[in-house]
């Protein structure tokens, strides 16, 4: 499960007031919920795009800190998707994921990558808690 931060000054609940409708718009009908760190995330067991096998997404609340968007997508092997003739679906899958994340977080793919790099560097610089 990967968690995504909002842009400075932005709040997830302002950008996505109805998480279920938002997830359904991008991935398909929500069929279940799944617990993650004390939060119920939405599950799409049969996503609209044939590249996706299963999608888990939702709001992760941290009390005094800003909420984050959690997203995990199980994807089918590329060879299988291409063999079925779903090359366009494979291209669309990348766009769907990026559009979903950008609309929710107001951060494009480059900003998300840069943030991830910084968090990894911060972890590497932190002293070991031994």
Show the tokens assigned to 101: 């994340």
Q: Could you tell me if residue 2 is inside a domain?
A: yes
Q: Mean pLDDT, the chain, as a whole number?
A: 87
Q: What is the pLDDT of residue 130?
A: 46
Q: Could you tell me if residue 128 is inside a domain?
A: no
Q: Could you tell me if residue 106 is inside a domain?
A: yes
Q: Could you tell me if residue 30 is inside a domain?
A: yes
Q: Could you tell me if residue 113 is inside a domain?
A: yes
Q: Could you tell me if residue 130 is inside a domain?
A: no
pTM across the whole model: 0.81
> What's the CA gap between 37 and 58, in Å, rounded?
12
25-78 pLDDT tens trace: 999 999 999 999 999 999 999 999 999 999 999 999 987 788 899 999 999 998
Domain extent, residue 119, equals 1-123
Domain tally, the chain: 1
Show the tokens assigned to 9: 């000054």
Which residue pairs, CB below 8 angstroms and at least 24 apart, start in 56-62?
56/1, 57/19, 57/23, 57/27, 57/100, 58/19, 58/23, 59/12, 59/13, 59/16, 59/19, 60/3, 60/36
Q: Could you tell me if residue 129 is inside a domain?
A: no
Show the tokens assigned to 56: 């888990």
């Amino acid at each position: 499960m990967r968690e995504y931060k909002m842009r400075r000054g932005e709040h997830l609940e302002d950008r996505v007031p109805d998480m279920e409708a938002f997830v359904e718009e991008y991935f398909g009908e929500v069929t279940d919920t799944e617990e993650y760190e004390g939060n119920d995330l939405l599950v799409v067991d049969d996503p609209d795009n044939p590249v996706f096998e299963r999608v888990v997404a939702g709001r992760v609340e941290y009390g005094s800190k800003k909420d984050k968007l959690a997203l995990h997508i199980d994807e089918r092997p590329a060879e299988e998707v291409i063999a079925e003739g779903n090359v366009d679906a494979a291209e669309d899958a990348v766009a769907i994921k990026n559009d979903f994340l950008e609309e929710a977080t107001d951060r494009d793919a480059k900003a998300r990558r840069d943030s991830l790099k910084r968090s990894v560097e911060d972890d590497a610089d932190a002293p070991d808690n031994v």
